[in-house]
Amino acid sequence: MDKICLDGEKIVVGVRQTLRALNDDNTEKVFIAADASEYVTEKIYKALEQKGLKAYRVKSMKSLGSSCGINRPAAAAAIIKK
């Protein structure tokens, strides 16, 4: 997977930051790693369902982290609305 956002787009990485952005109605796209624990991502899926949004699945936490430009695995990430 290449970078998840284009130049100039703001992203948040991690379950807490993604959930916060969702609750603030501030997300354009949400990405969730396929190998992330359901326990960890459960709140994000519930928030997405309430808002009528869908998640984009990414192969692994490692690939999501690297796509976000960090050297750590990431369970979730989101592109922030402009």
The reported pLDDT for the residue numbered 82 is 78
Regions of the chain short of the pLDDT cut 70? 1-8
Distance CA 64, CA 3 (A): 9
Distance CA 50, CA 73 (A): 27
- Give per-residue pLDDT as tens, 32-52: 999 999 999 999 999 999 999
Asked if residue 4 is part of any domain, the answer here is no
pTM, to two decimals? 0.89
CATH code, 36: 3.30.1330.30
Handedness of CA 58, 30, 65, 43 (dihedral sign): negative
Asked if residue 54 is part of any domain, the answer here is yes
Number of domains in the chain: 1
